[in-house]
Amino acid sequence: MRTGKLLAAAAAAALLAGTAQAADMTGITDKTIKIGNTNPYSGPASVYSVIGKTISAYFEMVNEMGGVQGRQIDFISLDDGYSPPRTVEQVRKLVEQEQVALLFQTLGTPTNSAIHRYVNSKKVPHLFVATGASKWGQPNKYPWTMGFQPTYDVEGEIYAKYVLENVENPKVAILFQNDDYGKDYRDGFLHGLGDKADELVVSMLPYEVTDPTVDSQILKMQESGANVFFNITIPKFAAQAIRKSCEIGWKPVHLLNNVSSSVGATLTPAGLECSTGLITALYVKDPVDPQWRDDPGYKEWLGFMEKNLPDADMTDVNYAYGYNVSKLMHHVLDTCEDLSREGIMGCAANLKGVELPMIMPGITVNTSPDDFYPIQSEQLARFDGKRWVTFGDVIHAGSH
Amino acid sequence: MTVTRPNPVTPQLLAGFGVAVVFAAIVPHLVSDFTSFQFTQAMAYGIALLGLNILTGYNGQFSIGHSAFYAVGAYTAAILLYHFEWNHYATLPVAALVAFVVGFLFGLPALRLEGLYLALATFAFAVATPQLLKFDAFEHWTGGVQGLFVPKPEPLIEGLSADQSLYYVTLAVMVLLMAVAWCLLHSRSGRAMMAIRDNPIAASTMGINTALYKTTVFGISAMYTGIAGALSVFVTEFVAPDAFNFFLAVNLLIGSVVGGIVSIPGVIFGGLFLVFVPNFAQDISRAYPFVPPPWAIFGIFLILAIYFVPFGVWGAVERAFAWWKRKSAA
């Protein structure tokens, strides 16, 4: 009789141990959740380090308010200097030594590429990575990695939709930077044009980031008779392209990629008059745009910034970006019933209509087990000589 | 007249070497896989530093562009693994050969360049390398900005983890290359190399072909660094152009000086310094909010190292040993 009871107890214990093993609780206790991150606090991409600082400040605030489901967030953010081998080392340190529950917002395309396979083989959630490349949403191949922002090719598709619906008899010229960023945008745009792409595109010219100017490309595009110009360039070249086309009197429907939509960095040097009428796609509320002054989301962000990061440069849109993505991570952890690695991944892959304070109204976060692209909508805006004025509906590109 | 030299292979040397190898062989069983991985990285750096020491410490030629040879080795291995699915270890000799040829060819114009001018030429090479790797014409092979993925080699012996296995392979390669360097430097050729360093005019008067020596040494140095680059690919399982920027070149120089630029065993300390000190600096910077940011702390450590051990860690060890010998003789 006694042995029977013992056996039953042993069986129950084994069963419990079995279930405990099934759910990977690494980095998660009743009191804390450990989250790992890499950011370029030094090196060529250190302008983005404000994102890491914003996230740190955000979780400190969350901890002061009692944490997430009664647990304090232990956010460990390490410097990788934007160097892939360094990222590998730091991420292995986070996963193997620090035993973090998940990785969040690791920043950069080459750096995340370096750890993509490693984190998936270790089955560590690799959430809301900070890059615009399109390869972070492959749940079949990489079920532990998920992106965040609209990818470059999604944005390209949005412009294509706009052209097809609004321009009569379009003849398109495309200028693109000859690298992964430029090609992602270009391919998304061509995909959006569909079968007619070959007919509609009359001129497609690359430039190298080492080129001095893009003047000759602009002249060739004007000669091609194009009435739509998709400008896939970084700020320096965007300003040149805007200025040159203005000087030679070429007035196409000018679509400028979001990468160069900064008024200060691109449009002012190009000339505000020449920039009037440009069209771009936005998804983050620009903190300097006066139309958000009374917006509750903006006020919430401003309150957070003034209290927690009082010395920050409030015109830097990266603070808004960091706040948005922290808020999303907070939301996932706060609403997730199963706080294990699998559980958190499952919650991140079942987000429906989540609104974030500094994201444009009408754009929400949506994911599903087959859709690892959280934000896939953007809002078009036209430059009126002073600021971007949004128009039309939010455009969703959901080809992924 | 024949000159008899004392045999450089002393019992102390063999004993020290044996103890070091045995100790190194036990390490992976005492520490975690992650720490083994860090030691492997340090050894890969150590091999690169060995190349730099042969060139600068023993032959007096300056290079601030060894990151480029590191990249040549790394990409040779990565391309063979990624596009041709070679065996990992078979790529090592090829990486060595390619790096040697590139280094030798680079060494040719170096004959006309001395000191600072050579340093500037190597600097140009280091700066150009990441951009060349992104260059369109090579993109099919190099993977462009995105780089190339390569898997870690499978464990050679059952029961070892992949990290432990790679540690032993890297250790074996490092010990072999150190032995080769030691033999080279204690040979006629080694003495010729040092003669060129100390007084090039006198050396050529003695009948040493300085031109041939200098280019060959450049090639050998590049070869060592190329092998290190190839091993680093196995360790990180990934290559991308941004990993081989000028910062790496400067780091190699730092490691070389900290370990002891005129030494062979010093490279181990140089490698350890490069891997562990930045991490340590970051840890204390994170733990205590009042201390300066990590790279400033790294700088402080570097200044301390140069102030207290100006001949590098191994230079200090040698001096301590000599002092002890003198004292015990007296």
Q: What percentage of chain B reaches a pLDDT higher than 90?
A: 62
Residue of B nearest to A96 (CA): B34
pLDDT tens by residue, A315-358: 788 899 999 999 999 999 999 999 999 999 999 999 999 999 99
Q: What average pLDDT score do residues B111-122 get?
A: 82
Quick check: B146 and A110 CB within 8 A? yes
Average pLDDT over all residues of chain B:
90
Q: What average pLDDT score do residues A237-264 get?
A: 92
pLDDT tens by residue, A298-326: 999 999 999 999 998 887 888 999 999 99
Q: Is A152 in CB contact (< 8 Å) with chain B? A: no
Q: What is the interface size between A and B, counted as CB pairs within 8 Å?
A: 76
Instruction: Report the residue from A97, A110, A210 with minimal CB separation from B34.
Output: A97
Quick check: B293 and A84 CB within 8 A? no
How does DSSP classify residue B82?
A: H
Quick check: B236 and A85 CB within 8 A? yes
Write down how long chain B is.
330
A52 Cα to chain B: minimum distance (Å): 14
Q: What average pLDDT score do residues A24-35 get?
A: 94
Please give the pLDDT value at position A371: 92
Contact B244, B129 (CB under 8 A): yes
Range with the poorest average pLDDT among A3-7, A48-52, B266-270? A3-7
Best CA proximity match to A113, nearest among A180, A27, A23: A180
pLDDT tens by residue, A4-24: 555 555 555 444 444 444 688
Helix (H, G, I), strand (E, B) or coil at A211: coil
Quick check: B146 and A180 CB within 8 A? yes
* β-pair partners for A347: none
Instruction: Report the residue from A41, A44, A179 with minimal CB separation from B145.
Output: A179
Site from A53, A86, A90, A135 to mutate, B interface, most B CB atoms within 10 angstroms:
A86
Residue A141: half-sphere exposure toward Cβ, Cα within 13 Å: 6
**Does the pLDDT at position B209 exceed 80?**
yes
B241 Cα to chain A: minimum distance (Å): 9
Sign of the C-alpha dihedral computed for residues B139, B140, B141 and B142 taken in this order: positive
Chain A residues within 8 A of B131 when measuring between CB atoms = 210
Task: Collect all residues with Cβ–Cβ distance below 8 Å to A28 and sequence separation of at least 6.
Answer: A34, A71, A101, A339, A340, A341
Residue of A nearest to B134 (CA): A179
Q: Is A109 in CB contact (< 8 Å) with chain B? A: yes
Chain A residues within 8 A of B282 when measuring between CB atoms = 78-79
CA A174/CA A166 separation, integer angstroms = 18
Residue of B nearest to A206 (CA): B136
Please give the pLDDT value at position B2: 60
Quick check: B149 and A113 CB within 8 A? yes
Instruction: Report the residue from A82, A109, A114 with minimal CB separation from B238.
Output: A114
Instruction: Report the residue from B136, B238, B282 with minimal CB separation from A113.
Output: B238
ipTM: 0.80
Angle at B306 between CA B303 and CA B309, to 5 degrees: 135
Best CA proximity match to A185, nearest among A208, A214, A213, A206: A206
pLDDT tens by residue, B243-256: 898 889 999 999 99
**Does the pLDDT at position B8 exceed 80?**
no
B96 Cα to chain A: minimum distance (Å): 21
Chain B residues within 8 A of A84 when measuring between CB atoms = 147, 236, 238-240, 242-243
Q: Is B214 in CB contact (< 8 Å) with chain A? A: no
Instruction: Report the residue from B134, B238, B295 with minimal CB separation from A88.
Output: B238
A77 Cα to chain B: minimum distance (Å): 9
Q: Is A105 in CB contact (< 8 Å) with chain B? A: no
**Does the pLDDT at position A198 exceed 50?**
yes
Instruction: Report the residue from B232, B236, B247 with minimal CB separation from A114.
Output: B236
Q: Is B138 in CB contact (< 8 Å) with chain A? A: no
The single residue listed with the structure tokens 């200044």 is B303
Q: What are the tokens at B137?
A: 């014409």
CA B314/CA B330 separation, integer angstroms = 24
Strand ranges, E, within chain A: 32-39, 72-79, 102-104, 126-127, 172-177, 201-207, 228-232, 253-256, 279-282, 377-383, 388-396
Range with the poorest average pLDDT among A200-209, B105-114, B148-157? B105-114
Q: Is A178 in CB contact (< 8 Å) with chain B? A: yes
Q: Is A384 in CB contact (< 8 Å) with chain B? A: no
Average pLDDT over all residues of chain A:
89
CA A136/CA A152 separation, integer angstroms = 12
A279-282/A172-177 β-pairing: unpaired
A350 exposure class (CB count in 10 Å sphere: 0-12, 13-18, 19+): middle
Q: What percentage of chain A reaches a pLDDT higher than 70?
A: 94
Q: Is A210 in CB contact (< 8 Å) with chain B? A: yes
